[in-house]
Amino acid sequence: MHELNLIFPGLNTCRILVGNGILRNCATYVGESAASQSAIIITDSNVGHVYAESLLRRLEEAGIIANIITIPAGENNKNLKTVTEIYGQLARLYADRGTTIIGLGGGVVGDTAGFVASTYLRGLPLVHIPTSLLAQVDSSIGGKTGVNFEGLKNQVGTFYHAALVISDTVTLSTLPPNEFTNGVAEIIKSAVIADSELFTLLEASIDRLHPGKADLLDEAVFRTVKIKGQSVSGDEKDTSLRQLLNFGHTIGHGIETASGLSVRHGEAIAAGMIAAARISRKMNLLSSNDFLRIRSLISRAGLPLKIGGIDPEDVIQAIKHDKKIKNGKMNFVLITEPGNSLLSREVTLEMIKMSILEEDA
């Protein structure tokens, strides 16, 4: 099992555990992190029937009284209506400040459960048990909670850290393959911006990166977790790392918006990473060989290099609304070699448009 402990301002700590089959010992970990006598598991309609009952049994065997709240799966249910319904159930279950909220599911469950934990009774202890690859490597770390509001993504939310994150990679075996690939995009992103060893590992083994290869998957997940963890923890010296995590996301978010959110996040980020690598190549920061290595890895992961049927002008319009852009200038992430990246303010909207239109470096 891999373990990482993050310390945040105010001395809040977050213990992150990554391993294969570690849910077996979940009651011990929950007991160590939050001295609660009761817990409420918030899960969704896809994940709950597979994992919630055995989790509940293990908690109860350890003397923790547990209940399950199941919300309907899907991004459309990440909203205040769902939150209100959960508040109602918490009241009926007599949840008090000693009740630990356990979010068991993908990023939708994690964001919703985190929001509920941070607001109900002004804050309940929170544990994340992420079951999608994206949630394990990204959304369960960093303390962002929230729900969508009137069509605006994550418009209402809080910062609230979980005391404990248990990422059991066994749970990924039931994840639909396209959801798995979605998470692989974030692993590749982390390797490209900050971890040349992970990049080399992925180059050698991306075709074997699946739940059946526990050691490889655990290593890839944990390395990615460490990069996200470093970028969000209070003792992080290099504050630019958080911005470097936006690699592929400026253009990727533009693609998602221009497609009316019909393109999956991981696919949009993959196309965004290729476009950003192409700009890096054009600016002579990245060698042709390294561009091809990044391109090949993304392609071998089953991710698209380009999203068809989207007008680059619509992508540019969407990017212009990005709140990180001031006076047409943005901090844009460029690559110098796999594992090394930098922030540039020299990238223009015209360069972005060309990078989306072009086929090759």
Ligand X SMILES: NC(=O)c1ccc[n+]([C@@H]2O[C@H](COP(=O)([O-])OP(=O)(O)OC[C@H]3O[C@@H](n4cnc5c(N)ncnc54)[C@H](O)[C@@H]3O)[C@@H](O)[C@H]2O)c1
Site residues for ligand X per CB under 6 A = 44, 46-47, 73-75, 78, 105-109, 111, 131-132, 134-135, 138-139, 142, 144, 154, 171, 174-175, 179, 182
Comparing CB distances to ligand X, the nearer of 132 and 355 is: 132
Rounded to a whole number of angstroms, the minimum distance from the CB of residue 83 to ligand X is 14
Cβ at position 139, least distance to ligand X in Å: 3
DSSP secondary structure string, 291-356? HHHHHHHHHHTT--SS-TT--HHHHHHHHHT-TT-BTTB--EEEEEETTEEEEES---HHHHHHHH
The alpha carbon of residue 183 and the mean position of all alpha carbons in its chain are separated, in whole angstroms, by 7
Residue 143 or 339 with smaller CB distance to ligand X: 143
174 vs 296 by CB, closer to ligand X: 174
- CB nearer to ligand X: pick between 20 and 132: 132
Signed CA dihedral, 173, 177, 179, 184: sign only: positive
241 vs 349 by CB, closer to ligand X: 241
β-pairing, 144-149 vs 152-159, is antiparallel
Instruction: Measure the CA–CA gap between 356 and 76, rounded to whole angstroms.
Output: 29
Q: From the CB of 349, what's the least distance to ligand X, in Å?
A: 25
Strand order in the sheet with 99-105: 2-7, 13-19, 164-168, 126-130, 99-105, 38-44, 65-71
- Using Cβ positions, the residue closest to ligand X within the complex turns out to be 107
Q: Cα dihedral angle (315, 356, 240, 342), rounded to 10 degrees? A: -160
Q: Which is nearer to ligand X, 36 or 136 (CB)?
A: 136
In whole angstroms, the minimum distance from the beta carbon of 324 to ligand X comes to 15
**Cβ 145 to ligand X shortest distance, Å:** 7
Token code pair at residue 97: 């400040």
Q: How far is the CB of 70 from ligand X (least distance, A)?
A: 11
Total residue length of the chain: 361
3-state class (DSSP) for residue 127: strand
Chain position carrying tokens 């072009």: 358
